[in-house]
Amino acid sequence: MAAEVDLNPVVLVRVSSKRHREVKLIECPFCRKKHTHGIPPGVEGPDIGHRVAHCATADLPLALRHVSRGYHLRLESRSILI
């Protein structure tokens, strides 16, 4: 039996621009880079919502490449949006 892979983990983010309402991942669980995502108006955190990961799926096992990867963004405790 294949190991379970969490395709939508919760990841911590920090505010990268309050003016542009953007947050940056502390570390992408799939590629280990720091992707930036926008925050819709009205969302104040700590739960920012689900996003599709910016990174390609080429590094995934072949059987998982058809699955779009994403994550649930959560502000780390010391980040504030306003």
Q: Which residues bind Zn ion (CB under 5 A)?
A: 28, 30-31, 53, 55
Query: Smaller CB distance to Zn ion: residue 58 or 82?
Result: 58
Six token digits for residue 52? 């599709």
Query: Smaller CB distance to Zn ion: residue 30 or 39?
Result: 30
The percent of the chain in helix, strand and coil, each rounded to the nearest 5, is 5, 35, 65
How far apart CA 78 and CA 56 sit, in angstroms, is 30
CB of 72 to Zn ion, least distance (A): 14
CB of 41 to Zn ion, least distance (A): 25
Read off φ and ψ for residue 53, nearest 5 degrees. Answer: -65, 145
CB of 50 to Zn ion, least distance (A): 15
Query: Smaller CB distance to Zn ion: residue 12 or 55?
Result: 55
Which residues partner with 72 through β-bridges?
10, 50
